[in-house]
Structure formats: C-alpha cells, structure tokens
Structure 1
Amino acid sequence: METRKITDPEVLKGLTQPLRRKLFRLLQQIGPATAGMLAKRTDSDPGLVSYHLRELAKHGFIVEAPELARDRRERWWRLVPEATSWDTLDFPGPEGAAITDTLKAQMVADELERLTTYQRTFHAWPQEWQRASMSSDSQIRMTPDELRQMTAELLEVITRYTDQGRNPDGTPIPDDGRESVFLFFHVFPEKP
C-alpha cells in the first residue's frame, strides 16, 4: 500500500475535527458507506455528516464511490486506498505546532478511550479473541538509529497484516472471519 506524506497544514488541520476523525475511522473499519449509515453509527445529523464527508474528500482522505449507489440520490464514500503519515517537524512555527499538538493530543486521547472501552468489554469477547489480544510495555536502551530501524521493521509487519485483510481498493474483505483490530503503539525517549 502506498503512503501519502502530509506536509500541508491545511490538510492536517482537516483531521483535527473530532467527528471527521470518527467518520474516517468508521470508513476504515466497515468500508464504504453513505452519510445516512454513518450518521446512525455516530448518532449525528445526516446533514452534518455529509458536510464532514465532503471536507474529508476535499483534503484527499476519502472519495465518492458512485458505483455502489442504487439511484442518483444515494451517495457512497470510501477511503482513498493509501496510508497517511505526517511528521511534526514538517510543520514549523506557531501555527504548525498548534495544529500538530492539537491533533496528536486528540489522537492519544482517542486511543486511550478505545483501549478503556475494550478493557470494559473484554469478557464479552469470545475466549479466542481474549487470548489473542495483548498489552505490553518495555523499557529498551537504544540509539536514535536503532529506534528508527525498529519502527521501520514494525511498520513493515503492520502493513503486511493490514494488506491481508483488505481488497486491492483498500476496502475490508467482508465476512472472512476477521474482526477490526485496533493496534497502537508509541515509541519515544524517556528520562528516568
């Protein structure tokens, strides 16, 4: 899968809106959908959802999927089939720092909320999923080069497994026994 590197602050700013991030994530998890379908899942107004979907499209994160529409009124959306990445260092100055700091803080809060939700519902999952999930933390002594090498290797593994569960157009393969699995990790230096 290709990776799109975001360097335009206006594009990155498009992801700082919480409902937009939620819609983007839902399209990752369930595949193509209409604004009405997404409005029900987010308990939001369909007009508001439509607006945010158009904003995501304007910034190149999603595209329309007209081939899925049953009539002219139905408007389907899907993710652009590429990963995205961004680096805080590509957004210098106070405006860039404000955008990246805001987005990163929102992402971390969202990740922790999702982990907390899983922990609350852990026992509702079948045992095979309970045994397959894991949490881990490590304290490793590394150089910056070793850290870059390790994260590159981890990303290769993640990409390989991501591709296995998706069609060539990036949509999830339906009904093949897979569940949507959330993986997040942070690696960073830390002073004792």
Structure 2
Amino acid sequence: MTEMRKITSPETLKAMAQPLRRRLYRLLSQLGPSTAGVLAKKTDSDPGQISYHLRELAKHGFIEEAPELAKDRRERWWRTTPGSSTWDTADFDTPEARAIADTVKRQMIADEFERAVQWEKDRDEWGAPWNRVATSSESTLFLTPEELAELNDELTALVVKWSKRGREARAEGRVENRESVFLFTHNFPERP
C-alpha cells in the first residue's frame, strides 16, 4: 500500500493553485500516463505551456516522468506519482501560507461543483445503469470534531448511523462540543 503524502509546504501547495495544473493533474489521474502533446490537445493549449506546467507539477512531487514509455529520446511521458496527497489549512499558519491554502481550497471546491454541474448536464448520455448508481447526498449531522474526523474515514453508507447518533444526543440534551455538520457528496462517472 502506498503512503499518504501530507503537504505542509506552501510552495508545494501553490503548485496546485494554477487552474491548468490542476486540470493536467486530473487528466493524468483519469487517463494514465500521457505526453505533453496529448495533454495539449485535451486542454486546447500550447504544448510548450503544457510542458512548463508538467515540469512544475513534477518539481513539487505531484507527477513524475515515465521514460520507459518513450519511443525515442524526444518523447516525454508523464504520470501521477503513486499514492495520495492530503493537506489541512490549519497547517498553514502564516498569513501568506494561509492565503495560498484558502485559494487552493476555494478553487478545488469550485472545480468540484463545476464537475457536478457538468455531470447533471450530461447524465442522459451515460444511460440507465450509470444514472441508477450516480448519487448525491446532503445531510446535517450533530458531531464533535473528533467524530467528524472518524466519519470522514467511513463510507457514505454510514451517514444514517451518524445522523441518528446526533439526533439522540440532541434529544437527550448532550450538546457540549457538538455542531451541525454539513456533509455533501457526489459520485458520478466522468470522462476527461
């Protein structure tokens, strides 16, 4: 099992603040290894610009070269690095670092909503099987921070259990350290 990479450097996180870089990373995650030329066509961008952004992503450890895939010396293949990355805005304590973390988080949320909206626009093209399993969920739970962290590691199917726990606590007057927690999920197929 590959390790989870915890990002605490503002400069590393800043690499993902650029929208085209986030899109390139997502495309490499979705498509698998690719070249700058293929990615330039997928993003309708200049190959030189794509190469620059790929090098920046590699410099910060998000992607790496895949030289074994090249047919000749001129061809450069790229892939995502193994494992996942995580970061927490609380780890960025200077005003400058926090501004970077906040910006990246806002951009990620905007991207997630844009992708959900695109799914809704295109859902009929996917047919009945995908439409039956694509879901969205919204719940308000009454949890402590520790319980929310635990819930984050569980599957969406457990939301009903945690919702019941919060309702019982509220009804019994056990309200200390509990807040309403908004949980928002979308699961849907997506093509690059």
TM-score using structure 1 length: 0.80
Measured after TM superposition, the shift of residue 144 of structure 1 is 1.7
Measured after TM superposition, the shift of residue 189 of structure 1 is 3.5
Asked if structure 1 preserves the Cα contact closer than 8 Å seen for 2:141 and 2:181, the reply is: no
Query: What is the match of residue 11 of structure 1?
Result: 12
Distance 1:50 1:68 in 2: 17
Unaligned runs of 5+ in 2: 159-179, 183-192
Query: What is the match of residue 68 of structure 1?
Result: 69
Alignment map for 1:7-156 (pairs within 5 Å): 7-154=8-155
Query: What is the match of residue 175 of structure 1?
Result: none
Asked if structure 1 preserves the Cα contact closer than 8 Å seen for 2:5 and 2:86, the reply is: yes
Measured after TM superposition, the shift of residue 88 of structure 1 is 0.5
Q: Deviations over 1:37-60 (max 9, x none)?
A: 000000000000000000000001
> After alignment, is 48-57 or 145-154 more displaced?
145-154
Q: Deviations over 1:145-171 (max 9, x none)?
A: 21111112249x9xxxxxxxxxxxxxx
Asked if structure 1 preserves the Cα contact closer than 8 Å seen for 2:39 and 2:50, the reply is: yes
Asked if structure 1 preserves the Cα contact closer than 8 Å seen for 2:140 and 2:181, the reply is: no
User: Which structure has the highest strand share of the two?
Assistant: 2
Distance 1:5 1:154 in 2: 22
Distance 2:72 2:88 in 1: 41
Distance 1:83 1:99 in 2: 20
Distance 1:31 1:54 in 2: 17
Asked if structure 1 preserves the Cα contact closer than 8 Å seen for 2:34 and 2:78, the reply is: yes
- Aligned amino acid, residue 71 of structure 2: R
Moved over 4 A (4+): none
TM-score using structure 2 length: 0.80
Larger radius of gyration: 2
Query: Relative contact order (alpha carbons < 8 A, sep ≥ 6): 1 or 2 greater?
Result: 1
Q: How many percent identity over aligned positions?
A: 58
Unaligned runs of 5+ in 1: 158-187
Distance 1:129 1:12 in 2: 34
Q: Deviations over 1:111-164 (max 9, x none)?
A: 000000000011111210110101110111112221111112249x9xxxxxxx
Asked if structure 1 preserves the Cα contact closer than 8 Å seen for 2:142 and 2:181, the reply is: no
Distance 1:109 1:12 in 2: 17
